[in-house]
Amino acid sequence: MREGQIVEKFKAKDGREIIIRLPKKSDDKPVWKYYNKVIKETEFLARREAFVFSDKDKWWNRKKITDIKKKKLIQLFAEHSGEIVGSCLVERNWAQVSEHTGLYGISVLRNYWGVGLGNRMTRHAFSIAKEIGIKMIELDVYSGNKTALNMYRKLGFRKVGVLPKWIKHRTKTRDKIIMYKVLK
């Protein structure tokens, strides 16, 4: 897998031209811009406050590129008109005894919800995961996230546990739901 490699170009359900691709060095700053935007738009992600980016934080994107080469990580971005509008990752479990498993995470900017980016990025990420020997996928999702729960069920994920009141977002408390899927 090459840095910046394009996995697919497709037309979203609303006609916008989307590119799904791997990270590249020039994402160092745009990726922070993306995360800061998406965390403001939803209460269903792990971060509450914006990140402050400076040049010394470049390592974060660079590490992703290295980890992809080492087959420790699959990271895909959805891009529209040169802007990152979605992100999907599968992180191989660091524990040697669970190297055949991975942790999955996904987000899409609000302006692009419901037009197929989530499904598309996930399918590509899981197909690459299989190629590099990841056989099972784990995720967590917060109670009340109907869209994500729908998507995960349709993708074949099964609920295997709940951590009650694990999530505090401003005044709201939510459960953390654990789901898993065997890749076929």
Residues that bind ligand COA in the complex, under the rule CB under 6 A: 42, 44-45, 106-108, 113-119, 141, 145-148, 150-151, 154
Q: For ligand COA, which residue has the nearest CB?
A: 118
56 neighbors 109 (Cβ within 8 angstroms): no
Nearer to ligand COA, 101 or 107 (CB): 107
What one-character-per-residue DSSP string does 34-102 give? HHHHHHHH-SSSS--S-----GGGHHHHHHHHHHHHTTSEEEEEEEETTEEEEEEEEEE-SSGGGTTEE
Query: What's the min distance (Å) between Cβ of 106 and ligand COA?
Result: 4
Q: Which of 147, 6, 28 is nearest to 79 (CA)?
A: 6
| Residue 143, both tokens | 């109670």
Query: What's the min distance (Å) between Cβ of 151 and ligand COA?
Result: 3
Nearer to ligand COA, 36 or 42 (CB): 42
115 neighbors 14 (Cβ within 8 angstroms): yes
Report the amino acid identity of residue 75: Q
Query: What's the min distance (Å) between Cβ of 74 and ligand COA?
Result: 16
How far apart (Å, rounded) are the C-alpha atoms in residues 163 and 174?
Answer: 9
Nearer to ligand COA, 2 or 40 (CB): 40
Q: Which of 93, 66, 78, 101 is nearest to 31 (CA)?
A: 78
Query: What's the min distance (Å) between Cβ of 61 and ligand COA?
Result: 20
Nearer to ligand COA, 12 or 58 (CB): 12
Query: What's the min distance (Å) between Cβ of 37 and ligand COA?
Result: 11
Nearer to ligand COA, 146 or 184 (CB): 146
How far apart (Å, rounded) are the C-alpha atoms in residues 63 and 37?
Answer: 22
Nearer to ligand COA, 71 or 80 (CB): 80
Query: What's the min distance (Å) between Cβ of 45 and ligand COA?
Result: 5
